[in-house]
Chains A and B, each alone.
Chain A
Amino acid sequence: METEQVSSMLDLGTTKSYKIPVEHLDYSFIEKCTDVRHLEKILAVLRSGEEGIYPALTEFCEKKIESLDPRSQALRKEKPPATAASFSSDEWREIMCDLKSWSKEINQRETELKYQSVLDNSENVPPVRGSNVFVPSKQNKINKGKTSKNKVVPREYSEWDKFDVEKECAKVEGCNKEKSSPGLINHGLPKIKRKIDTTGLTDKEKNIIANREKDKGNEFFNAKDYEDAVVYYTRSISVIPSVAAYNNRAQAEIKLQHWNNAFNDCEKVLELEPNNMKALLRRATVYKHLGKVKEAADDLKKVLQAEPENVMAKKLLHETEENKDMQSKKQPKGKRILIQEVEDLDDEPETESCLLVGGESAAEKGEMGNAQRKFPGRGDGGLQTEEKTPSTAKKAQTKRGSSEKGSYQGAKEQGQVNEFQRNESYAGDQTSPSSSGTDSSRPDVPVDSGALPPDIARLKSQGNELFKSGQFSEALLKYTQAINDFTEAEIDSPGDLSILYSNRAACFLKDGNCSDCIQDSTRALELQPFSVKPLLRRAMAYESLERYRQAYVDYKTVLQIDSGVQSANDSVNRITRLLIDQDGHNWREKLPDIPAVPLSAQQNRWEGTSANYEQTQQKTKGFGGSKPVQDTGKKTEALFLSHKQEGNDFVKKGQYKDALGKYTECLKLKSSECAIYTNRALCNLKLNQYEEAKQDCDSALQLEPSNMKAFYRRAMAHKGLQNYAYCMDDLKEVLRLDPKVAEAEKELQEAAELLSKRSVAPDSQEKQRKKIQIQEVNDSDEEETENTRDRNDGKEVNRHVGTGDNQINHCGSENMFPLQPTNAYEFGQALNAVKSKEDIAACAKLLCSVEPENLPSLMSNKLEVDSFTIIIQALDNHLLQKDPILVYRHLVHLHEAERFKMVSLLLGKTEKEQVKQLFDHLSTVESVQFTSDDIQNLAKHYLF
């Protein structure tokens, strides 16, 4: 102490190295100082000993720093490795024994490995990376695609900060794709296989792999990536099922709240090890969340029997018992959690309004006549029912009224009023379209049932009230009563009954009683097919029950009816992800069929409104433009919508030029609609006007910077313009927005390929040509991509190969498609290519390459008149002579395709002639596979 004071008195200057005032090297100062940096400097001075050596002060300073910042670097000291002395003798012995036993074990394993016959598992291994094969790197080092991509430019850090992607891209002008990629989140779930192919592996190796996959699962679990963890546990189980992997997967599933999966895993563990405490605990957790309080308590008691001190079990048991009490009063809590997830989708109970939308459009359809009348829709049926209803309702009313002696006076009045309203609304719909406006306003005006007898109507409205105030079980009772009365009264009004069921389904859903919800929704749908609300409810119920496939189908159906239902859109996305997790890439194959919604139900909203507007227009015309000014806004809006609708219709029919015109008119009226731009871009693309398509996409993206369609179409446009680098940018953007877009990924690969090819081209045409030839004989994989390229970019190939080179061209056009299209996308691509060239021979080849049974699924909903025609032509002109049986089988399956009915209605005279001709030819063929009767039956499907 003394010496220190002396030194500070002698030299009140600063220290040499950090210029710290010497008086800072003091207990009291260090005590008070909270600046870690400063303390670290003091410590450095003290440690260096330049101001003298003070071990106690140094230690004091270290302690102070540690208390302020335990992770400070200054505290890191050089330490020698630990030795036996650093451990207690027991620990040391344990470590050494462990190592010894391990080395013994591993030696044994190694000798076993050596004596195992070496199995060749090369068939598991993917082929040698194809794209760069046989390119002598010495000759065209610079030209090679990936070479140009890799620019080892020493980029300074500061420069990197200022890096401007746009400028940089412009600079490299498309051929050099040195640029920063768009934002990506590496969610690899869909990409990871859930099973590991272990053929050819020895048990030892399998064991190692299973363990490793499990470890990976643990790591993901620790990083809170529960979904990944589940995948890796699943992989581990696929190699060798183990208790630990099942157990861990159960825990991960619990974290994800996939109760059923977790339950199954626990069950598996308990099958293998009936006394596995962890599994019991986890099963108890699952039970608790599923509301099975008793089972949960049983499990927990079992755990506590074996491990009386298990804190976790105690806590859970306590919670469960609390829950039990609550359950006796109310619904269990666990269930509510599940439902809360879906709650935001649809809170309001259904009022009449929903049905009215359908019914009203049906009525309009009847009026619209012409085009729509052809469809055997429920338009007419609906209308009839509506007409019938009031009278029957009245009958019922009087019946009730007389039997119950006017006690429902008020209710009756209400009913009459309702009825009046209802009639009025119908009248309004038919006569004064201006009142119907847009359909969004509709649900706000609850039009109550008029057809219902007053008591039922009252029960229903009471139910609605109760539902709104959250008393679901009371509402449930009311609805049930209403339904009972309804059936007793034998009223013939399926629509109203459907609504009652649908409302009751909503109550069940809220109460967490999913199976009853499904039952009621199904009944509602039987009575009133394709109504949105019961479908939505059933979908939600399915989803809560983790029956994702059914849920998916229902959501999809909803979207077919009205693609604007946001909750359905969201849910479909969510479920798609789940299904991919569950079933892998082929998840679609496992789906039940999605019912095709009749056109009458499908676009009812659009057509409804456009019809209204057409009427408005006519009226306006009739008045000779004497309409008040305020109507003009509405008018343009109406015009806009009708143009848009017409445009959409043209697109569907494949008349892109007409559609283009319509869309352009739309944009003249209103230039801020993103969808119009993307639609027009599509038309432009189809018409090969890439520059225009690109501009449209640009405009669309200005309006909506994250419009995936716009990105995708711009990518296609860029591809058409041969700006592959830009094309890839856009595709990457698409993948960033939704990594699951398979088309985009495919196109991306293609574009990458094209880009690498192209960068070679300008230098050495000769070489390029050679290269194509090499790759064509190389392997089928390569050929495929090569040909896809040809198809997509015939021009480019011509340039490279030379126009005179018929052979290669021919080759290209012959194999324009994958030999075995395996999915709808590939098939669609191939068919489009065939269509655009009107290459009937190629179409015939394509048809040869697919199994007729698969035709409808490959076709999916892409069947159009022109594709149908070319298929018929191909069958007739090329296949009939070669293989009439195949033709027959194709025809048998073709009419099962999704849009077949629709297409067959749209066929023109010549097309019909062709079909007839084909059947005539076919009936002349004699075969054991089919008789002429069969053909005639079949022909009925095709010719009305």
Chain B
Amino acid sequence: MSTPLEKPQIISHIQKGLNYTVFDSKWIPCSAKFVCMGNFARGTGVIQIYEVQHGEVQLIKEIEKAKPFKCGTFGATSLQQRHLATGDFGGNLNIWNLEAPEIPVYSVKAHTEIVNTIDGVGGLGIGDGAPEIVTGSRDGTVKVWDPRQRDTPVANMEPIEGEAKRDCWTVAFGNACNDQDRCICAGYDNGDIKLFDLRNMSVRWETNIKNGVCCVEFDRKDINMNKLVATSLEGKFHVFDMRTQHPTKGFASVSEKAHKSTVWQARHLPQNRDIFMTAGGAGSLHLWKYEYPAQRSKKDADEIEMGVAGSASLLQNVTLSTQPIASLDWSPDKQGLCVCSAFDQTVRVLIVTKLNRV
């Protein structure tokens, strides 16, 4: 604290109050614009596009649809098209051309219940291979979609019949380092984390972190699995080193008590995979840096390789609101620029300084 200016600082650059509940916010790639998705009080869904101009945000466009939007991603679209894929309360997956949003360019009834979470890969030059979208829903299923294929998912991961269906809260793509390899990580309300290998179509690994998994994210989608951050309901997050998988112990991990309440989000800096921000239930943001151990793997008693976890150190923390921060997104184009939305019906544009000196 004696040298506050050498550490990264988090500046709340712009705040904008909204007249609806906002669930997700995302930067539009290659622009100074972002979208907010949410729920009008009258029960309809809304997408707003804002542009950062001269120290404030300008509303560019507002789109209202029948069902409230829960989540969205640009992960599976090309830079030229920049179509937004959304999941809504009705279980639909839609892909919108934001220039012509009257009818979706792709629409499917993906789930029987609300789509909690969505992620995309293969677009924007991130991740080799086909563009694919994964959705996770309260109906307990995780489905993978290819925008080129109508109506049916290309992969469907659901509990076998008779088993209790757990609410899937979060999904994330990873390991898309070449055309064939691709993994999906899904987190469930009972603390289960499952890693699906799309190449082998199998569960590669699963674990349980005791409390509901609010967010999982790979540090990068398009490299060999390196790290995975999973945040949980009771204020902890876990960083798994995904390099070395032990046959019984799985992946090594380090956990850190981050917030005094639920950690809603964890997002890695696109420009530096070892820095990530967590967003908490009490309106706080924590900026972390992961430090690798000297040796990332060691041999156990039976001469089997096992991973060694590093440690996470807190770089900065701020409190923005009293309400949970539900979404957080780093700008892919400008290092340190970030948008977050909270349940106080406010969207904020943040600037994090000195990230390149960390």
User: A residues touching B (Cβ–Cβ < 8 Å)?
Assistant: 71, 73, 76, 78-83, 86-87, 91, 95-96, 99-100, 102-103, 106-107, 109-110, 113, 116, 118-119, 121, 125-129, 131-137, 141-142, 144-157, 160, 163, 165, 177-178, 180-188, 191-193, 201-202, 204-205, 208-209, 212, 215-216, 219-220, 222-224, 228, 232, 728, 748-749, 752, 756
Contact = CB atoms under 8 A, between A and B. Distances in A.
B146 A128 contact: yes
B75 to A, nearest CB: 14
A96 B4 CA distance: 19
A106 B318 contact: no
Contacts of A83: 11-12
A216 B179 CA distance: 18
Contacts of B152: 133-137
B5 interface: yes
A71 B314 contact: yes
A184 B284 CA distance: 37
B62 interface: no
Contact of B149 (A99, A133, A144): A133
A360 B310 CA distance: 58
Q: Number of contact residues on B: which range applies?
A: 35 or more
Contacts of A144: 156
A127 B130 contact: yes
Contacts of A103: 32, 52-53
Nearest to A117: B80
B130 A184 contact: no
A592 to B, nearest CB: 28
B141 to A, nearest CB: 9
Nearest to B302: A705
Given A95-B353, A191-B178, 16 more contacts: A71-B314, A82-B11, A87-B9, A99-B52, A99-B334, A121-B78, A125-B129, A129-B132, A129-B144, A129-B154, A193-B178, A202-B80, A204-B30, A212-B125, A216-B273, A756-B201
Nearest to B295: A224
A95 B351 contact: yes
B87 interface: no
A208 B29 CA distance: 11
B47 to A, nearest CB: 18
Contacts of B225: 186
Contacts of B130: 125-129
Contacts of A187: 224
A76 B198 contact: no
Centre residue among B79, B166, B304, B350 by max chain A CB count within 10 A:
B79
Nearest to A134: B152
Interface in B268-291: 271-274, 284
Given A86-B4, A96-B55, A81 B11 contact: yes
A128 B149 contact: yes
Contacts of B242: 186
Contact of A81 (B179, B192, B350): B350
Contacts of A148: 160
B42 interface: no
B163 A208 contact: no
B297 A131 contact: no
A436 B301 CA distance: 42
A70 B238 CA distance: 21
B210 interface: yes
Contacts of B190: 154
Interface string B328-340: 0000011001000
Contacts of A107: 31-32
Nearest first, the 3 closest Cβ-Cβ pairs linking A and B are A188-B224, A152-B159, A81-B12
B220 A95 contact: no
A141 B247 contact: no
A128 B154 contact: yes
Interface in B216-274: 220, 222-226, 242-248, 250, 257, 271-274
Contacts of A150: 142, 157-160, 194, 196, 203
Contacts of B178: 188, 191-193
A80 B156 contact: no
Contact of A152 (B79, B192, B351): B192
A183 B246 contact: yes
Contacts of B5: 86-87, 91
20 contacts: A80-B318, A87-B5, A107-B32, A113-B30, A132-B153, A133-B152, A135-B152, A141-B156, A146-B155, A146-B157, A147-B160, A151-B159, A151-B163, A152-B194, A157-B210, A160-B207, A180-B248, A181-B205, A185-B245, A223-B292
Centre residue among A125, A183, A191 by max chain B CB count within 10 A:
A183
A756 B200 CA distance: 10
Contact of B125 (A205, A220, A222): A205
B181 interface: yes
Given A150-B194, A155-B206, A191-B178, A163 B79 contact: no
A750 B273 CA distance: 35
Nearest to B349: A99
A235 B210 CA distance: 41
A141 B158 CA distance: 8
A757 to B, nearest CB: 11
B200 A752 contact: yes
Nearest to B182: A129
A763 B202 CA distance: 21
A208 B142 CA distance: 31
B81 interface: yes
Contact of A183 (B191, B247, B313, B351): B247
B32 A157 contact: no
Contacts of B11: 81-83, 86, 95
Contacts of B304: 183
B19 interface: no
Nearest to A121: B78
Contacts of A131: 201
Contact of B247 (A178, A180, A728): A180
Given A81-B350, A87-B9, A165-B248, A149 B202 contact: yes
Contacts of B204: 181
A748 B78 CA distance: 32
Interface string B1-20: 00011000111110000000
A891 B170 CA distance: 61
Interface string B308-351: 00000110011110000000000001100100000000000011
B125 A160 contact: no
Nearest to A164: B248
Nearest to A102: B334
Contacts of A748: 200
Contact of A191 (B122, B159, B177, B201): B177
Contact of B156 (A106, A118, A147, A180): A147
A642 to B, nearest CB: 35
Contacts of A204: 30, 79
B357 interface: no
Given A95-B353, A748-B200, A116 B179 contact: no
A160 B248 CA distance: 10
Given A150-B157, A177-B202, A208 B247 contact: no
Given A95-B11, A118-B80, A748-B200, A109 B30 contact: yes
Given A128-B154, A152-B165, A106 B31 contact: yes
B280 to A, nearest CB: 10
Nearest to A205: B79
Contact of B131 (A125, A132, A155, A205): A125
A110 B30 contact: yes
Given A110-B31, A113-B79, A191-B181, A99 B337 contact: yes
B195 to A, nearest CB: 9
Given A137-B152, A209-B125, A219-B274, A106 B334 contact: yes
Contact of A132 (B81, B122, B154): B154
Centre residue among B132, B177, B220 by max chain A CB count within 10 A:
B177
Contacts of A165: 247-248
Contacts of A756: 201
Contacts of A136: 152
